[in-house]
Protein backbone atom coordinates (compact mmCIF):
# COMPACT_ATOMS: atom_id res chain seq x y z
CA UNK A 1 0.00 0.00 0.00
CA UNK A 2 1.15 3.57 -0.68
CA UNK A 3 1.73 5.80 2.31
CA UNK A 4 2.45 9.50 2.57
CA UNK A 5 4.97 10.54 5.19
CA UNK A 6 5.14 14.19 6.20
CA UNK A 7 8.62 14.87 7.55
CA UNK A 8 9.16 18.17 9.34
CA UNK A 9 12.77 19.16 9.99
CA UNK A 10 13.58 21.99 12.41
CA UNK A 11 16.79 23.36 13.87
CA UNK A 12 17.56 22.22 17.40
CA UNK A 13 17.12 24.74 20.21
CA UNK A 14 20.22 26.95 20.34
CA UNK A 15 21.33 26.39 16.73
CA UNK A 16 21.66 29.71 14.89
CA UNK A 17 19.00 30.27 12.22
CA UNK A 18 20.28 33.02 9.90
CA UNK A 19 17.42 32.43 7.44
CA UNK A 20 14.83 33.13 10.15
CA UNK A 21 16.78 36.17 11.32
CA UNK A 22 16.91 37.61 7.80
CA UNK A 23 13.20 37.01 7.18
CA UNK A 24 12.28 38.54 10.54
CA UNK A 25 14.35 41.65 9.82
CA UNK A 26 12.82 41.96 6.34
CA UNK A 27 9.28 41.71 7.75
CA UNK A 28 10.13 44.32 10.37
CA UNK A 29 11.50 46.60 7.67
CA UNK A 30 8.14 46.19 5.91
CA UNK A 31 6.39 47.41 9.06
CA UNK A 32 5.39 44.14 10.74
CA UNK A 33 6.02 43.83 14.48
CA UNK A 34 7.32 40.28 15.06
CA UNK A 35 7.81 38.60 18.46
CA UNK A 36 9.48 35.47 17.11
CA UNK A 37 9.99 33.60 13.85
CA UNK A 38 11.11 30.03 13.18
CA UNK A 39 11.55 28.14 9.95
CA UNK A 40 11.06 24.46 9.16
CA UNK A 41 11.59 22.30 6.10
CA UNK A 42 8.83 19.91 5.18
CA UNK A 43 9.17 16.86 2.94
CA UNK A 44 6.09 14.97 1.79
CA UNK A 45 7.26 11.55 0.65
CA UNK A 46 5.07 8.91 -0.98
CA UNK A 47 6.24 5.31 -1.01
CA UNK A 48 4.99 1.75 -0.72
CA UNK A 49 5.16 -0.08 2.59
CA UNK A 50 3.59 -3.15 4.14
CA UNK A 51 1.78 -1.23 6.86
CA UNK A 52 1.72 2.13 8.62
CA UNK A 53 4.33 1.05 11.19
CA UNK A 54 6.90 -0.05 8.59
CA UNK A 55 6.15 3.13 6.63
CA UNK A 56 6.98 5.19 9.73
CA UNK A 57 10.20 3.22 10.27
CA UNK A 58 11.24 3.70 6.65
CA UNK A 59 10.54 7.46 6.80
CA UNK A 60 12.64 7.69 9.98
CA UNK A 61 15.47 5.87 8.16
CA UNK A 62 15.22 8.49 5.39
CA UNK A 63 15.58 11.22 8.03
CA UNK A 64 18.61 9.58 9.61
CA UNK A 65 20.22 8.92 6.23
CA UNK A 66 19.56 12.18 4.42
CA UNK A 67 16.71 14.51 5.34
CA UNK A 68 17.96 15.60 8.77
CA UNK A 69 21.38 16.16 10.26
CA UNK A 70 21.19 14.78 13.82
CA UNK A 71 23.82 17.26 15.03
CA UNK A 72 21.68 20.31 14.33
CA UNK A 73 18.18 19.09 13.45
CA UNK A 74 15.13 17.66 15.16
CA UNK A 75 12.49 15.97 13.05
CA UNK A 76 8.96 14.66 13.28
CA UNK A 77 7.31 12.06 11.03
CA UNK A 78 3.58 11.84 10.45
CA UNK A 79 2.37 8.95 8.30
CA UNK A 80 -1.04 9.06 6.62
CA UNK B 1 -2.79 39.00 22.52
CA UNK B 2 0.06 37.03 20.96
CA UNK B 3 -0.80 34.68 18.12
CA UNK B 4 1.24 32.08 16.32
CA UNK B 5 0.74 31.80 12.57
CA UNK B 6 1.98 28.71 10.77
CA UNK B 7 2.60 29.65 7.15
CA UNK B 8 3.21 26.80 4.72
CA UNK B 9 4.57 27.76 1.30
CA UNK B 10 4.54 25.24 -1.55
CA UNK B 11 5.34 25.44 -5.24
CA UNK B 12 2.33 25.69 -7.55
CA UNK B 13 1.39 22.63 -9.58
CA UNK B 14 3.61 22.53 -12.66
CA UNK B 15 6.47 24.62 -11.26
CA UNK B 16 9.76 22.74 -11.44
CA UNK B 17 11.11 21.65 -8.03
CA UNK B 18 14.83 20.86 -8.50
CA UNK B 19 15.32 20.51 -4.73
CA UNK B 20 12.69 17.78 -4.51
CA UNK B 21 14.15 16.08 -7.59
CA UNK B 22 17.64 16.05 -6.08
CA UNK B 23 16.43 14.72 -2.72
CA UNK B 24 14.36 12.02 -4.41
CA UNK B 25 17.34 10.89 -6.49
CA UNK B 26 19.58 10.85 -3.42
CA UNK B 27 17.07 8.75 -1.46
CA UNK B 28 16.80 6.35 -4.40
CA UNK B 29 20.58 6.08 -4.55
CA UNK B 30 20.46 5.14 -0.86
CA UNK B 31 18.08 2.30 -1.71
CA UNK B 32 14.69 3.83 -0.96
CA UNK B 33 11.91 3.31 -3.49
CA UNK B 34 10.05 6.64 -3.77
CA UNK B 35 6.75 7.21 -5.59
CA UNK B 36 6.68 10.97 -5.16
CA UNK B 37 8.35 13.70 -3.12
CA UNK B 38 7.36 17.32 -2.51
CA UNK B 39 8.97 20.03 -0.44
CA UNK B 40 7.41 22.90 1.50
CA UNK B 41 8.77 25.81 3.51
CA UNK B 42 7.17 26.49 6.84
CA UNK B 43 7.37 29.74 8.79
CA UNK B 44 6.11 29.92 12.37
CA UNK B 45 5.57 33.59 13.16
CA UNK B 46 4.59 34.99 16.55
CA UNK B 47 3.12 38.46 16.76
CA UNK B 48 0.53 40.50 18.61
CA UNK B 49 -2.90 41.07 17.11
CA UNK B 50 -6.30 42.19 18.32
CA UNK B 51 -7.99 38.89 17.56
CA UNK B 52 -7.58 35.69 15.57
CA UNK B 53 -9.14 37.18 12.44
CA UNK B 54 -6.81 40.20 12.33
CA UNK B 55 -3.89 37.84 13.07
CA UNK B 56 -4.84 35.77 10.01
CA UNK B 57 -5.12 38.89 7.85
CA UNK B 58 -1.73 40.14 9.01
CA UNK B 59 -0.10 36.75 8.33
CA UNK B 60 -1.62 36.76 4.83
CA UNK B 61 -0.17 40.25 4.29
CA UNK B 62 3.25 38.86 5.29
CA UNK B 63 2.83 36.13 2.67
CA UNK B 64 1.86 38.57 -0.06
CA UNK B 65 4.67 40.98 0.87
CA UNK B 66 7.55 38.57 1.44
CA UNK B 67 7.05 34.92 2.38
CA UNK B 68 5.48 33.71 -0.87
CA UNK B 69 5.91 34.67 -4.50
CA UNK B 70 2.39 34.58 -6.01
CA UNK B 71 3.77 33.70 -9.45
CA UNK B 72 5.15 30.34 -8.32
CA UNK B 73 3.88 29.68 -4.78
CA UNK B 74 0.70 28.67 -3.03
CA UNK B 75 0.42 29.23 0.71
CA UNK B 76 -1.75 28.30 3.64
CA UNK B 77 -2.02 30.13 6.96
CA UNK B 78 -3.08 28.48 10.20
CA UNK B 79 -3.44 30.74 13.23
CA UNK B 80 -3.35 29.36 16.77
User: pLDDT tens across A40-79, in order?
Assistant: 999 999 999 999 999 999 999 999 999 999 999 999 999 9
Q: Where are the domains of chain B?
A: 2-79
User: What is the percent of chain A with per-residue pLDDT over 90, rounded to a whole number?
Assistant: 100
pLDDT in tens, B4-50: 999 999 999 999 999 999 999 999 999 999 999 999 999 999 999 99
Nearest CA in chain B to A3: B35
pLDDT, residue A31, reads 98
Q: Nearest Cβ partner of A33 from B43, B47, B61? A: B47
Provide the mean pLDDT of chain A: 97
Strands (E), B1-80: 2-11, 36-48, 73-79
The CA–CA distances, whole Å, from B7 to A31, A50, B1, B12, B60 equal: 18, 33, 19, 15, 9
Cβ of B47 and A38 within 8 Å? no
Largest CA distance in chain B: 51
**CATH classification code of A2-79:** 3.30.1280.10
Q: Which of the 8 DSSP states describes residue A13?
A: T
This model of the complex carries an ipTM of 0.90
State the smallest CA–CA distance between residue B48 and chain A in angstroms. 8
pLDDT, residue A7, reads 98
pLDDT, residue A46, reads 98
∠A17-A19-A22 over CA atoms, to 5°? 110
Amino acid sequence: MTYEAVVRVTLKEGVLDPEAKTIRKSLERLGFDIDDLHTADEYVVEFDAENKETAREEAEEMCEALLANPTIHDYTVEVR
